[in-house]
Structures are given as C-alpha cells and as structure tokens.
Homo-oligomer: A and B are copies of this chain.
Amino acid sequence: MSGSEFPSLADKTMLEEGGVFAPKFDKDGLIVCFAIEARTREPLMVAYMNAEALRLTLETGVAHYWSRSRKALWRKGDTSGQTQKLIEMRVDCDQDALLLMVEPQGDGGACHTGRKSCFYRAVEGGALAFRQT
C-alpha cells in the first residue's frame, strides 16, 4: 500500500521540475520528514510518514507521523499537547524528503525530553555538548 495514494513519477525531469507531487516512499513505505518552526526556522525534529500519515497531515493541517518503534500511526501531540500546525510543506528535488514548517502548539516544544527541539546536543571532539534550544 505504501505510496499507493500518491502518484509515482519515473521521469527525472518531471520529478524535479514538475508540479506533480509524487512523494517517493522507501522500501518500508516511509518518507523522512524534517520539522522546523515556521516562524523562526528553528530545527525541531526528524520523523517519518507513511502514505496514510501524509494524507492525514495534508487533510487536517496537523502533522501525523508513523512511529517506527511502535509501528503505529501517530498524531504528534495527542498525549503531550505538542501538536504541530502545518504552515507549509515542502518536498525536495527528488521527492524523497519532506520539510514541514510548523507552528508547535501546547508548550511550543517538539521533543519528548521536554526541550523545544530534539537537536539539543552538538558533536564536539567526539563527545556531545548541550546547547540551549
């Protein structure tokens, strides 16, 4: 079923220069998504969508993902309150990655650790240093 709700394009020029949304799902039926805060461009999180999550996201304007660990559809924020209102969705050149520009609801955060962003650590000399987000 993966991707069956969306068209598929084999032609590279159409895929890259065309106006048809033809997201490429991987062999597990997933597409990687990068969510950033629309207003500030702060990187928030990486997650994955299957075709159903993508359809629901576009239909409802609220981000839905596929949890690879729980193997379940997941409307982000259902338990945390940190739903993500979709402001704009972009797709990359070869249509195998999505960028979600969102407005985080609830406390404005995205990370289950309680931080605003999942990217709160920098790699420094092989170790990790904490950063404010």
Which residues 85-133 of A have a CB within 8 angstroms of B? 88-93, 96-97, 99, 111-113, 115, 118-123, 126-131
In the bound complex, residues from chain B placing their C-beta under 8 Å from that of A32 are 32, 46
In the bound complex, residues from chain B placing their C-beta under 8 Å from that of A74 are none
Q: Does A56 contact B (CB under 8 A)?
A: no
A58: contacting residue among B41, B42, B93, B123, CB under 8 A: B123
In the bound complex, how far is the Cα of B58 from the Cα of A58, in angstroms? Answer: 38
In the bound complex, residues from chain B placing their C-beta under 8 Å from that of A29 are none
A85 to chain B minimum Cβ distance, whole angstroms, is 15
In the bound complex, how far is the Cα of B88 from the Cα of A121, in angstroms? Answer: 10
In the bound complex, residues from chain B placing their C-beta under 8 Å from that of A119 are 90-92, 99
